[in-house]
Homo-oligomer: A and B are copies of this chain.
Amino acid sequence: MIERHLTRIRARHALSADEEQVVRGLLADTRSVEARRTVIREGERLEASTLLLDGLMCRYKDLRNGQRQVTELHVPGDFADMHSFTLKRLDHNVQTLTDCVIGLVPHERIQRMTETHPRLARLYWFGTNLDAAIHREWEVSLGKRWAAERTAALFCEMHVRLGLVGMADPDGYGFPLTQTELAECLGITPIHLNRTLKELREAGLVEFRSRYVSLLDLPRLRSMADFDENYLYLDPDPL
């Protein structure tokens, strides 16, 4: 089950046999969590980081008025909160969107890894910096793109990220979110997202139905989103 995590790392960096063993040794425990459970609450003190092995999760922040903004989606192989290793408590919540399998990685094991395997430490540092890059791209979407462009950009991002761990087809992928959840990622109301999806569908760009995203015309979809996958760092320099 940790294979997807190794796949994710290897998509960007080589791993020696020794390093692979250390990575495998990080996992202290795995557990199943059903859909829509908040796994990590803002402010609580954490002693372990959560590795997503299967399913989809998200980071979100609540507002006083009951609304929430999702700040990142997680696909299998992602660490949901490697950053809690240094921060110890988070400024946001982490929730499952679907039924999930998660792995727990005690901070003390990460600590030991940073001391014995500085290159691995650097790879995981890279990983949190990649999260930040995704946050920045979402800032651009939320700040400057119209609803349709924004929606297109997210569909493009998820296609690449799911593809990296072998969970996407060339022209689509399973994506079991409700329209309400998707709208919370995009900073628009579910109603307006529904209209936007209709617009994208009728333009022959993308269709989102029964938990599956069908990419009807990927080149035009990427173009309308002004999608540039460089922010996902698919070809980093070798370390």
Contact = CB atoms under 8 A, between A and B. Distances in A.
Contact of A61 (B42, B59, B67, B136): B136
Contact of A114 (B59, B83, B121): B121
Contacts of A118: 114-115, 118, 121
Count of identical protomers in the assembly: 2
Interface residues of A, number: 51
Contacts of A64: 226
Give chain A's interface secondary structure class: helix
Contact of A139 (B122, B135, B236): B135
A17 interface: no
Contact of A140 (B63, B85, B186): B63
Interface of A: 42-43, 45, 59, 61, 63-65, 67, 69, 71-72, 83, 85-89, 91-92, 114-115, 118, 121-122, 125-126, 128-133, 135-140, 142-145, 186-187, 226, 230-231, 233, 236-237
Given A87-B129, A142-B142, 11 more contacts: A61-B136, A61-B140, A63-B140, A64-B226, A87-B236, A91-B231, A114-B121, A118-B118, A121-B121, A138-B139, A139-B139
